[in-house]
Amino acid sequence: MADRQALKATFFAFRKRERGGVLLRATVAFVIMALVLFAAFIAVFWGSVGPVIQWYIQIIEASATNDTAAIEAAGFPMEFFGFIGGLLLWLFPFYILFAAYEAACLRWMIHGETSGFMGLSLGAPTWRVWSVYWIWFVLNIAFTIVMSIVMGVIMGAMMVSTGGDPNATVTALPIVYLLQYGLMAYFAVRFAPAAATTIARRKFAFFDSWTVTKGRFLPLLGSFVLLYVIYILVSLALGAVWFATVLGSGAPDIAAAAGDSQRMTLVITETLEAYLRSLADPSTWAVIGALQVVGLVVAVLLYVAMYGVNARAAIVALEDGKIKPAAD
C-alpha cells in the first residue's frame, strides 16, 4: 500500500511553491561564501599555490612539445606538500558550508523552513548533514577495502583454477568490475536520501534511509540516471563550445586520427599547443570565464535536483508512515 504513491521525484526541486526564491537565495549565499573561502585559501597559501601553478604550467608546456629534458628539469616543487596540506585544511570549512547549503535546501523542500543568513545556518541540521558526509566517507573506504579483498580472492582463484592462464584473468575482470560497480550503484541509491531522511526525522538518521528507499530503488535510480544524462549532455555541449571558440581554426582534426594511436598522440600534442597559444588572447579568458560560470550553474542545478529527488523520497516516506519525526 505504501509503495503505490507515485514518487515523481526527478524535478521535484523545481516545483512552484508558495514562497519563491528561497532556493535561489540559499544558492547565492553558498556561492558567495564559497568564493570567500576560495579567496582566503589563495591569500593564506599563495606562497605554496604560486610555485605549484608555475610548475604545472611548465609541465604542460613541456608535454605539449614532448620536451622530456624540460620535464626532468622542472623537478618537483617542495611547495606542493604545503599546497596539499592547505587544501586539506580548506576542505573542512568548505564541506561545513556545503552541509549548510544542503541542509537549507532540504529543510525548505521537506518542512518549508528557513533560518540563518539567506537560508544558511550553523544550526543542528547542518551538523547532522555534515555527520552524514563522514558516514559516507567511512563507508566508501570500507567498501573499497572489501571489494579489493574480494577482487584479490577472485583473481587468485582464477589463476589457480586455470593454471595461471592470463586470458582467463582478463576475461574475469569485466565481470568483477560489473559486480563492483553494480553493488556500488545499488548501495549508493539505497542510502542516497540519508541527509534528507536526517532532516525529515529532525535527528541523525543515516541508516533509516534504507527504509525510505525500500520498494523505491528503480524509480530513484531512474531519476538519478536521467539527471546525470542531462548533465552529461549539457557538459558535452559546453565542451564543444569551448573547443570551437577557444581553439577555433587552430584545432587539430581529432576525427581524422581515430584508430591511429600515433596520430592521436600527435593530435593531443597539437591540441595542447593550440590551447597554450590561445591563452595569449584576452578574449580566450573571457570565453573560459563565461563557460566556467555556466558550468558552475549547471553543476549547482544538478545538486539541487538531486537534493529534490532525495527530499521527495523522504516526504513520501513520512506520508506513508515509514519514518516519523523525532519527538520534540
Domain of residue 51: give its range: 20-122
Residue 172 within a domain? yes
C-alpha cell at 324: 516519523
Are 263 and 256 in contact, with CB atoms under 8 Å apart? yes
Please check whether residues 89 and 158 belong to one and the same domain. no
Q: What is the mean pLDDT of the chain?
A: 82
Residue 261 within a domain? yes
Nearest to 298 by CA among 238, 246, 240: 238
The band of 302, judged by pLDDT with boundaries at 50, 70 and 90, is very high
- Given a cut of 60, is residue 2 above it in pLDDT? no
CA distance 282 to 288: 10
- Given a cut of 90, is residue 231 above it in pLDDT? yes
pLDDT digits (tens, 9 = 90+) for 159-191: 777 666 667 667 777 777 888 888 889 999 999
What is the DSSP track for 5-62? S----TTGGGS--SS-SHHHHHHHHHHHHHHHHHHHHHHHSHHHHHHHHHHHHHHHHH
Residue 301 within a domain? yes
Please check whether residues 98 and 138 belong to one and the same domain. no
Residue 13 within a domain? no
For position 44, what pLDDT does the model report? 80
- Given a cut of 90, is residue 283 above it in pLDDT? no
Phi-psi region of 326 (alpha: psi -120 to 50; beta: other; left: phi over 0): beta
C-alpha cell at 62: 613541456
Please tell me what DSSP assigns to residue 122. Answer: -
Q: Which of 150, 176, 191 is the last residue of a domain?
A: 191
Percent of the chain, pLDDT > 90?
Answer: 37
Mean pLDDT of 253-265: 59
Ranges 154-163, 234-243, 270-279, most confident: 234-243
Write the CA distances from 154 to 52, 64, 141, 144, 191, integer angstroms: 41, 41, 20, 15, 27
Please check whether residues 57 and 136 belong to one and the same domain. no
Mean pLDDT of 258-286: 66
Residues in the chain: 328
Lowest-pLDDT range, 61-65, 94-98, 251-255? 251-255
C-alpha cell at 88: 586539506
CA distance 28 to 40: 18
- Given a cut of 80, is residue 324 above it in pLDDT? yes
Are 64 and 101 in contact, with CB atoms under 8 Å apart? no
Query: For the stretch 27-43, what's the b/e string if a residue is b when 16 or more beta carbons lie within 10 angstroms of its beta carbon?
Result: bebbeebbeebeeebee
Residue type present at position 234? V
Residue 209 within a domain? no
Please check whether residues 235 and 161 belong to one and the same domain. no
SS3 278: helix
Place of cell 553493488: 183
Please check whether residues 156 and 245 belong to one and the same domain. no
SS3 268: helix
Q: Roughly what angle, to the nearest 10 degrees, separates helices 22-44 and 79-111?
A: 170
80 or 297, which is more confident? 297
The band of 261, judged by pLDDT with boundaries at 50, 70 and 90, is low
Residue 106 within a domain? yes
For position 1, what pLDDT does the model report? 42
Residue 207 within a domain? no
Counted domains in the chain: 3
CA distance 130 to 195: 9
For position 192, what pLDDT does the model report? 93
SS3 29: helix
Please check whether residues 155 and 115 belong to one and the same domain. no
Q: Which of 122, 141, 174 is the last residue of a domain?
A: 122
Residue 8 within a domain? no
Phi, psi of 198 (to 5 degrees): -65, -45
